[in-house]
Amino acid sequence: MKVLVPIKRVVDYNVKVRVKADHSGVDLANVKMAMNPFCEIAVEEAVRLKEKGVVTEIIAVTIGSKAAQEQLRTAMALGADRSILVETDEDAQPLAIAKALKALVEKESPDLVILGKQAIDGDNSQTGQMLAALTGMGQGTFASEVNVADGKVKVTREVDGGLQTVELSLPAVVTTDLRLNEPRYASLPNIMKAKKKPLDVVTPADLGVSFASSTKTLKVEPPAERSAGIKVASVEELVEKLKNEAKVI
């Protein structure tokens, strides 16, 4: 059984994001980059399925610049067998990414595609659903539990009303939520082994897709600064400040 795991290179979640002086976007100069946390969960789930003997091969894939090879090497250090970089300097949008992944699905014929439910930079939460629609595969989104057996995958997903379990015939698309698992750390020996694992580089043209964006970012601004809170001595003082200063009542 083959699993395809799309991942994304993002600003490390511990880094305080800064906006460029001209407000054209986020300043990425000298900023630590990392694998998207939800993608780490997807890689971990694929590795756990392989450790159970369910999966035989894990292929990590990302779309981005040459620097994204770093995250692919990380995925292989965590347990992926090989990886594919769709190299582009364009800021690819979810639909274009889904089309590129569809081309890779047709080429690799994976039984399961596992990816993070969203990336922490765009927060779109669209790629998995779009990929399922383009390929015609069943989808289990926001997974908190995944079980594969007898050509089917059972996905327990988090919904507003609680938990919902769906059963999908393979091949299928699964997007991972935070409570699915806790990703492991890559060991030094595995990091060294990852350097020798195959990493293929292809272009959007090789896949027959275009990453030219139909949207344009006009302006990026940081959140408005908030003043520090204060303590009040009584309910009466609180009401007075809410009424006369904050003017919310």
Q: Which domains does the chain have, with CATH numbers?
A: 2-244 (3.40.50.620)
d(Cα 85, Cα 12) in Å, to the nearest integer?
20
Q: Which long-range contacts (CB under 8 A, 24 or more apart) does 129-133 make?
A: 129/175, 130/94, 130/95, 130/98, 131/98, 131/101, 131/102, 131/105, 131/173, 132/172, 132/173, 133/98
Tokens found for residue 36: 């998207």
- Residue 153 backbone dihedrals phi, psi, to 5 degrees: -125, 125
| 141-194 per-position pLDDT tens digit | 999 999 999 889 999 998 888 899 999 999 999 999 999 999 999 999 999 999
In the beta sheet, which residues pair with residue 65? none
| 189-239 per-position pLDDT tens digit | 999 999 999 999 999 999 999 888 878 888 888 888 887 888 889 999 999
Supply the mean pLDDT for the chain.
Answer: 92
Residue 70 has pLDDT above 90, yes or no: yes
% of the chain residues with pLDDT over 90: 72
In the beta sheet, which residues pair with residue 139? 173
